[in-house]
Amino acid sequence: MIPAEHRRLLAAYRMPAEWEQHLACYLAWPHNRDTWPGKFEVIPPIYAEMVGKIARFEPVRLAVTNASQIDEVRAMIRDAARRTEQEAPGPLLPIDIFHLPTNDAWARDHGPIFVNRLANAAASAGPNQIALDWRFNSWGEKYGAFDLDDVVPQKLGRRFGFEVIETGIVLEGGSIDVNGAGSILTTESCLLNPNRNPTLSRAEIEDYLRTYLGVANVLWLGDGIAGDDTDGHIDDLARFVAPDTVVTVLEDDPTDVNYKVLRDNLERLRAMRDQDGRALKIETIPMPPAVIHDGTRLPASYANFYIANGAVLMPTFNAPTDGRVAATLSRLFPGRRVVSIPSTDLVWGLGSVHCLSQQHPAR
């Protein structure tokens, strides 16, 4: 049950869209070898490249589980930044590397989600910004321990001095996407899955989203892509790129397992309306060719991009479709530089750049 005091307080707040200005980006250095079985050794250098590229555009706050690694991690990032400076030019912004143990690296799902006080709200309504601490249960208790990940928002709040409110229900950051104007995208396969909040109905979950995130309009897609162990996170399917525009992935091969699922989601989007009753503008990007490792279909998707200050960090898969998607994202984000993050190996861990990052919006 949502506490009455939360309803009163949070009526004056909203979750900003990802393209709004960021104070910093939260990341967690990869250390769990079980996440990338047989391939872990190649992951830290790729991750260091990702950190360096993000830091060209916004400050980074990077949690490291093993405190003795901090100097080594800093050196890896600096080396990677030097190698990739031509692709992401400019000085590195501050990279704060600190000791904070995690079970895994998926900061999108265990990190805090921030809401900002509305511009027209009275100063007495509360602080300028609040961090929401949703419960984290390892995507329905699929993997091992998740106790360290579940307390990350509280520990970050103490370190960086922001207020944290516990919502009391399970929700991962990758399962939602907002336009900052009152609409939110999510999926039935994830949020309605009994492995998250089995006692809550659709209407009750919508009530939590409206209350805590300041949205009025909940837009439900159906199923996720093949190989997605999150039960269908929205950040592999469809993303707001403007208050009135959604970009969604499509599979052109009718024999591919994702073809029907993604066509169904497209038809749902075409029937949807925004918070003001207007039809959404729909843009499409292709899926990459199937990425398969050890006989396993991986959840490779171009929708898993991260919108940073002045840039879009885009997963790439060494495929002809990389260039087509980069051109589309450049058109959809004028004034932002599209920067590639090699993700063929990253996605063996079942996620890419958006799954690994969580923005701290400016206030």
Domain boundaries, the chain: 4-357
Instruction: Say which amino acid occupies 33.
Output: R
Q: Where are the alpha helices (DSSP H) in 246-363?
A: 259-271, 321-332, 353-356
**Which pLDDT score is estimated for 174?**
98
Judge whether residue 115 has pLDDT over 80: yes
pLDDT in tens, 216-248: 999 999 999 999 999 999 999 999 999 999 999
Q: Stretch 354-359: mean pLDDT, rounded? A: 98
| Measured distance CA(195)–CA(328) in Å, rounded | 36
Judge whether residue 124 has pLDDT over 80: no
| Measured distance CA(78)–CA(198) in Å, rounded | 45
**Which pLDDT score is estimated for 3?**
97
Angle between helix axes 70-83 and 43-55 (nearest 10 degrees) is 70
Q: Give DSSP secondary structure letters for 208-245.
A: HHHHHH--SEEEEE----TT-TTS--GGGTEEEEETTE
Residue with the two structure tokens 């609040």: 130
Annotated catalytic residue 25: no
Chain-centroid distance of CA 173 in Å reads 6
CB 215 within 8 A of CB 157: no
Average pLDDT along the chain: 97
pLDDT in tens, 5-38: 999 999 999 999 999 999 999 999 999 999 999 9
**Which pLDDT score is estimated for 27?**
98
Nearest by Cα to 230 from 267, 198, 200, 186: 186
**Which pLDDT score is estimated for 122?**
77
List the catalytic residue out of 12, 170, 325, 355. Answer: 355
Architecture of the domain delimited by 4-357: 5-stranded Propeller (3.75)
